[in-house]
Each structure stands twice: as structure tokens, then as C-alpha cells.
Amino acid sequence: MTFWDEVFAGFLANMFAGVLLVVFYVIIQWFLQATDVTVGYCWKFQGQSFYPSFDIRNRSKSKTYLLANIAYMKGKRTIVGSDNKSLWGQELTPGSIRFFDAVLPVNNVHTIQECLTLEVSIRLQNGRAFWLKGQGPGQTFVGRIQRTAFWLRKILETAAVPMEK
């Protein structure tokens, strides 16, 4: 190879390595953002009124989130009810765990069996939503991909070098 062919090959190799490094960094940042908020819930009742009780955790180290509303659905289409007042404007600071027990009751739901058929969606003010389908009182459905993602996040967090004192 001539001198200019070697320079061009070195240039292309360095560009490829740089692009690969940036893509890898973007994937890790997207993954950490996708797994930074976790939501758990259980059903509570008072008389004939059923309402969820939420445990919302912000595992992010630097990002603050604002909660918006709750939607109750059967399937992903039929809206049973919504609650725009209970969570609106509540702030999730980095590293915080918030417990929300003062949620409005769900309309037209009068038994625990009806509650277990509902899917609950919590939306943040940035538009991101969390879909929850209860398997039983206090349990949320976690699929294989989500379980693997949280396992991988745990490994990345334990292997990370802390930057603060």
C-alpha cells in the first residue's frame, strides 16, 4: 500500500471506532433512562370504593420527573376511568421513593376481581407512560425482557465507579 492508502485506511478505522463508541454510549444512556423509574402498586378498598396505592421509585442519579395522571383500562383500548388530580405535579427527585396512598377511587369498579382485570397506566408530564397489569394484590407483571433489563442495570450500577464523595 502506498502512503496515502495507509493514511486513508487509518482515518476510516478511527472514524469507525469513534462512531462505534458514540453509538455504544447512546445505547447505555437510553437503557439507563428506560429503567430509571419503577412503579409498583396494590389495590385497597374502603367500603365499596377501590383505589390503587402506588410505590414509585426514581433510580436516576440526576433526573427529576413530574407525575401527570393515571388511566384505568381494560385491554389497551377501553378506558374505565382516569384520575388527573391525585398525582398531578408530584415531583420524583433523583434517588427518591414516593408512596401515594391518597388516590381517588376508580369509578364503576366494585370488586377485587374487577380490579385485577384492569391495566393501570401512570403518565409522566414528559409523556412517558408506565403500563401495569396486576397479577394479584401487590404484584405487578414483569416480563422476561424487563426482568433482564433490571438485572443488567443492577450489574452496571454495581460495577460503576462513584463520582461523588
- For residues 96 and 58, the answer to whether their CB atoms sit within 8 Å is yes
Q: Work out whether strand 119-124 and strand 97-100 pair parallel, antiparallel, or are unpaired.
A: unpaired
Return d(Cα 104, Cα 69) in angstroms, integer.
11
Give CA separation, 149 vs 110, 126, 137, in Å. 36, 22, 24
Query: CB burial class (10 A; 0-12, 13-18, 19+) of residue 122?
Result: buried
Q: What is the pTM of this model?
A: 0.69
Domains of the chain: 41-159 (2.60.40)
pLDDT, tens digit, 9 for 90 and up, residues 34-73:
778 888 888 888 888 888 888 888 888 888 999 999 988 8
- For residues 59 and 118, the answer to whether their CB atoms sit within 8 Å is no
- For residues 115 and 137, the answer to whether their CB atoms sit within 8 Å is no
Buried b (16+ CB within 10 A) or exposed e, 75-87: eeeeebebbeebb
Give CA separation, 29 vs 9, 45, 51, 101, 111, in Å. 30, 40, 35, 32, 42
Residues with pLDDT less than 50, the chain = 136
Q: What is the pLDDT of residue 139?
A: 52
Q: What is the pLDDT of residue 31?
A: 78
Give CA separation, 68 vs 64, 83, 85, 142, 152, in Å. 13, 9, 8, 23, 28
